[in-house]
Structure 1
Amino acid sequence: MAQKFDVCIRGDGMVGRTLALLLARQRLRVGLVSHDASKGNHTTSDDAQDVRAYSLNSASRDLLSELRCWPSPQHATPVQHMRVWGDNGGFTHFESPTPDGLTWIVDVPVLENQLAEAVRYQAEITCLTDDDSQTTQADLTVICEGRQSVTRTTLGVDFEVMPYQQHAVAARVRCTTPHRQQALQWFSQGPEGLEILALLPMGGAQGDTASLVWSQPPARAQAMLALDANAFAQALENASHGVLGQLTLTSERAMWPLQLARAQQWTGQFADGSAWALAGDAAHNIHPLAGLGLNLGLADVAELAQILKTRDGKDYWRKAGDRYFLRRYERARKAGLLPTWAACDGLQRLFAHPNTSVQAVRNWGMNGFNSLAPVKAWAMQQAMGLENR
């Protein structure tokens, strides 16, 4: 016998679980489908250590705190300073206007476990396998399967992909110099092209560990992955100019290709007349240079949940898959995504340009930006997720 739900969510990663919890609070019956496509595409095997960390803004923190899923201070380190160096003397510095921090560097496995635990105790959520989902019925199916979504491909959605000539290498390191709640980033021109190194503080305010994301040309990334742990740590120390002292690799290394991508259509109908919607990486991908990917996915599901909540009032008679809701969701999130999507892509392409004149201009621009307090304040509001408050 088919199981019937108001909403079926395909993909039980962080975005899918967050949406399930938000909808369960509205007393909607939710089916949450677990399968490999939802686990991200950043590790090479099921047993590989997850070394990811995300920079989450105030909007994401408020959302997860409301769901009682915000990690403890040891696993959600507030960033008090953000320092960025250009590839030829450029520099800019952001300082948090409050003790709370500019953003928070959150340990991905810890957050995933807290969301999974919350889902486990929510009676309105039924956890399903791929096989179970073949016999489920729902007014709305939300696809949160990640960048390689099988369901999106099956639907024939046009997913516009623009690959960067870069791979990301991620790992965890221990530093002999405490990070002092600083997020550090360097743009540099290597022999094969643009490299972007980010070191993100972890382990709490007094921590001495960091998560790294090193975006490099593919051959260079492969070579770095092939180095032994000591040689890799030495290369990392050189690239970071010893700012955090001696570095020791404490994890495996992961690597994945980088791309800019966006679905042309975010909502639609199945052949049986029920509706579908895309969210998270299934709908859009950006470069990790600003660390905003998960924030955008959480903003997707927060918007969708808020729109569906109008069923508690004047729209009580509409089903969860009503086209009225889905049109509102698609319009709002495409408009909300565009500035960040364009800014991250523009910054990456600006620094990837090999011309020396362009190099001089972009570094001059960084230094000029650093001296313009009102512009910096506006940029911080955007990055902190406070622009709509």
Structure 2
Amino acid sequence: MIFHYDVAILGGGIVGRTLALLLARERLRVALVERSPAAAVPPDIRAYALNAASRAVLDSVRAWPNDPAAATPVHCLWVADVPAGNGGVAPAHAAAAGPSLRFDANDGEALAWIVDVPALEAMLDQALRFQAGVERLDAAQQPRPPAALTVICEGRHSATRVAEGFAYERQPYPHTAVAARLRTERPHGGVARQWFCGDSILALLPMDGPEGRLVALVWSVPHARAATLLGLDAAAFAAAVQTACGDALGTMHSEGQPAGWPLERALARPWVRPGVALAGDAAHAMHPLAGQGLNVGLGDVAELARVLREREYWRPLGDLRLLRRYERARAAPVAAMLAATDALHALFAEPDARVATVRGWGLRAVDRLQPLKAWFIQQASGLQPFGPLKTVEA
């Protein structure tokens, strides 16, 4: 059968657009099927923590944001376990915040980058405008164009994945993620801060450059509390965040409208069928506490592009054996990341005092062991995932 397109990508989010650029670079004819944006959409307040592997992928398709303020380097990650007696509120002084762990980047490097979503989407759009071989289609007009391979990148609620009969095993968390942007009295200093507060996890991610005073909030809280927070006016919401983080950055002011979404762990089984593959959130979803969701999705499309590029010349793009190479290559890293986020969530959510004691001991032990901290940084970079500890030098 002769197809007008080699690959049809369903879903025009960051993962789908990146895949379109990767495949067009290989001289494949790509259809990128997108939904038209709603008429009145509030400004996007999301920000993603991207690692070195994700940056390399985006750099390769010339989509990394040029503006230094749109991709703020994280030079330090500070994590604290808030004592149970504090009622889920971080102490005003970091020294009193209970056991903590600090990761510092090497000179001239970054642990990660906090990337403004609108800026990243604008760079991807610009790259697509200059990339031959990609045709952007309206999903309302042509929801699924004929192609040798269809890649579903429609997110967790993909209707096409359901129609294709892929199982998607969901495990809801009792949390909603509340996202917002806040202007702070003191500069963040390129530090990403995270507090584990029993039934909630609060993260403040640095934005607007290394010495900026803007942070992205990701606050995982029980559903009922999320509804309360999202119902507050701007001043009350900022005050609630300021109190919860113990005035870590001084007075705060909300910028834009906070948003929330329910959290879940999910995994598709299988990921591929003849002529069809899943990628990104259509294949998996995880808790945001480790900030790895988009990194894993970009890892999917980088691997799929590699498998298609290295296929035998006679093998069709939609060949099941070919697509299973992609599925097998992604199985271990995705499963490991899902297990890690699950384990961290369970460990820090456990109120038992004995578990809290062991947890505190573990944080202090890791903080003292430089080779182990270096290994964690290496894994988080995405460049050498799940490598042996013995390869790390102190």
1:298-318 Cα offsets, whole Å, 9 max, x none, are 00000000111114xxx1111
Matched residue SS, 1:250: strand
User: Which position in structure 1 is the counterpart of 2:56?
Assistant: 62
Matching of residue 353 in structure 1 with residue 358 in structure 2 = no
- Pairing partner for 1:319 from 316, 319, 335: 316
Residue 100 of structure 1: CA displacement? Answer: 2.3
Q: Residue 33 of structure 2 contacts residue 143 of structure 2 at CA under 8 Å; is this kept in 1?
A: no
* Runs of 5+ consecutive residues of structure 1 not aligned to the other structure: 270-274
In the TM superposition, what whole-angstrom CA distance separates every residue of 1:96-120 from its partner, at most 9, and x where no partner exists? 0132210000001110111112112
The count of residues paired between Structure 1 and Structure 2 equals 370
Structure 1 CA distance for aligned equivalents of residues 195 and 260 of structure 2: 19
| Aligned pair partner of 1:121 in 117, 130, 145 | 130
The residue that corresponds to 1:51 in the other structure is 45
- The aligned residue for residue 73 of structure 2 is 78
Alpha-carbon spacing, 1:175–1:45, altered in 2? closer, same or farther (3 Å)? farther
1:267 to 247, 263, 272: 272
Task: Please name the residue that 2:221 is paired with.
Answer: 216
Cα gap change, 1:17/1:75 in structure 2, threshold over 3 Å: closer, same or farther?
A: same
Distance 1:348 1:87 in 2: 14
The worse-fitting range, judged by mean Cα deviation, of 203-212 and 349-358 is: 349-358
Alpha-carbon distance in 1 for matches of 2:290, 2:231: 26
C-alpha separation in 1, matches of 2:41 and 2:185 = 29
Distance in 2 separating the partners of 1:284 and 1:328? 18
Find the counterpart in structure 2 of residue 155 from structure 1: 164
Opposite residue 74 of structure 2, the aligned amino acid is V
Name the amino acid aligned to 1:86: D
**TM-score, length-normalised on structure 1?**
0.92
Contact 2:9–2:31 (CA under 8 A) maintained in structure 1: yes
1:33 aligns to 2:42 (yes or no): no
Q: 2:197 aligns with which of 178, 188, 202?
A: 188
Where do residues 1-389 of structure 1 align in structure 2 (5 Å cutoff)? Answer: 4-35=4-35, 47-71=41-65, 72-88=67-83, 89-134=98-143, 136-189=145-198, 194-269=199-274, 275-311=275-311, 315-387=312-384
Instruction: Please tell me whether the aligned partners of residues 87 and 363 of structure 1 are also in contact (alpha carbons under 8 angstroms).
Output: no
Deviations 1:164-223 (A, max 9, x none): 00000001001110011000000113xxxx110000000011211000000000001111
**TM-score relative to the length of structure 2:** 0.91
CA distance in 1, matches of 2:176, 2:143: 35
**Structure 2 unaligned runs (5+)?**
84-97, 388-394
Q: Distance in 1 between matches of 2:329 and 2:173?
A: 27
* Alignment RMSD: 1.7
Cα 1:254/1:34, change in 2 over 3 Å? same
Partner Cα distance (1:122, 1:104) in 2: 26
